[in-house]
Protein backbone atom coordinates (compact mmCIF):
# COMPACT_ATOMS: atom_id res chain seq x y z
CA UNK A 1 0.00 0.00 0.00
CA UNK A 2 2.81 2.41 0.87
CA UNK A 3 4.56 1.60 -2.40
CA UNK A 4 1.41 2.32 -4.40
CA UNK A 5 0.89 5.63 -2.58
CA UNK A 6 4.52 6.60 -3.19
CA UNK A 7 4.29 5.73 -6.89
CA UNK A 8 1.09 7.77 -7.33
CA UNK A 9 2.57 10.73 -5.42
CA UNK A 10 5.74 10.71 -7.53
CA UNK A 11 3.78 10.46 -10.78
CA UNK A 12 1.63 13.41 -9.71
CA UNK A 13 4.66 15.49 -8.76
CA UNK A 14 6.33 14.73 -12.08
CA UNK A 15 3.21 15.73 -13.98
CA UNK A 16 2.96 19.21 -12.41
CA UNK A 17 6.61 20.29 -12.50
CA UNK A 18 8.11 22.25 -15.37
CA UNK A 19 11.58 21.98 -16.82
CA UNK A 20 14.17 24.18 -15.15
CA UNK A 21 15.70 26.93 -17.24
CA UNK A 22 18.83 28.91 -16.58
CA UNK A 23 18.22 32.56 -15.82
CA UNK A 24 19.80 35.15 -18.04
CA UNK A 25 20.66 38.54 -16.53
CA UNK A 26 22.30 41.63 -18.05
CA UNK A 27 25.07 42.21 -15.44
CA UNK A 28 28.01 40.06 -14.33
CA UNK A 29 30.28 40.41 -11.28
CA UNK A 30 33.90 39.50 -11.93
CA UNK A 31 35.41 38.76 -8.53
CA UNK A 32 39.07 39.35 -7.78
CA UNK A 33 39.78 41.44 -10.85
CA UNK A 34 41.67 38.90 -12.98
CA UNK A 35 40.67 36.83 -16.01
CA UNK A 36 40.57 33.47 -14.18
CA UNK A 37 38.53 34.81 -11.25
CA UNK A 38 35.00 33.57 -10.53
CA UNK A 39 32.11 35.24 -12.35
CA UNK A 40 28.44 35.59 -11.40
CA UNK A 41 26.06 36.77 -14.16
CA UNK A 42 23.00 36.86 -11.93
CA UNK A 43 22.23 40.57 -11.62
CA UNK A 44 19.34 42.53 -13.10
CA UNK A 45 20.91 45.92 -12.47
CA UNK A 46 24.35 47.48 -12.25
CA UNK A 47 23.52 48.63 -8.71
CA UNK A 48 22.80 45.03 -7.59
CA UNK A 49 26.12 43.90 -9.04
CA UNK A 50 28.06 46.71 -7.36
CA UNK A 51 26.43 45.93 -4.00
CA UNK A 52 27.48 42.29 -4.35
CA UNK A 53 31.17 43.06 -4.94
CA UNK A 54 31.26 45.77 -2.28
CA UNK A 55 33.87 44.79 0.30
CA UNK A 56 35.13 41.72 -1.57
CA UNK A 57 36.63 43.36 -4.64
CA UNK A 58 36.09 42.93 -8.33
CA UNK A 59 34.15 44.77 -10.99
CA UNK A 60 30.87 44.64 -12.92
CA UNK A 61 30.50 44.17 -16.67
CA UNK A 62 27.61 43.74 -19.06
CA UNK A 63 26.72 40.13 -19.83
CA UNK A 64 27.55 39.72 -23.52
CA UNK A 65 25.30 36.64 -23.76
CA UNK A 66 22.22 38.39 -22.32
CA UNK A 67 19.04 38.09 -24.36
CA UNK A 68 16.01 40.08 -23.28
CA UNK A 69 12.92 37.97 -22.53
CA UNK A 70 10.63 40.78 -23.72
CA UNK A 71 10.31 39.38 -27.22
CA UNK A 72 11.01 41.19 -30.46
CA UNK A 73 11.47 44.93 -30.33
CA UNK A 74 9.32 47.03 -32.64
CA UNK A 75 10.30 50.49 -33.79
CA UNK A 76 7.75 53.25 -33.84
CA UNK A 77 7.51 54.66 -37.38
CA UNK A 78 8.76 58.22 -37.86
CA UNK A 79 6.07 60.79 -38.51
Q: In Å, what is the CA distance from 40 to each residue of 56, 63, 69, 75?
A: 13, 10, 19, 32
Whether the Cβ atoms of residue 67 and residue 50 lie closer than 8 Å to each other? no
Mean pLDDT within 14-23: 63
**Is the overall model pTM greater than 0.75, yes or no?**
no
**Given pLDDT bands bounded at 50, 70 and 90, which one contains residue 74?**
very low
- For position 28, what pLDDT does the model report? 95
What's the chain's average pLDDT? 78
Amino acid sequence: MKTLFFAVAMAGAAAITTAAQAQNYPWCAQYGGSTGSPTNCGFSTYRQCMADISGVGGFCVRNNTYRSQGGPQHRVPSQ
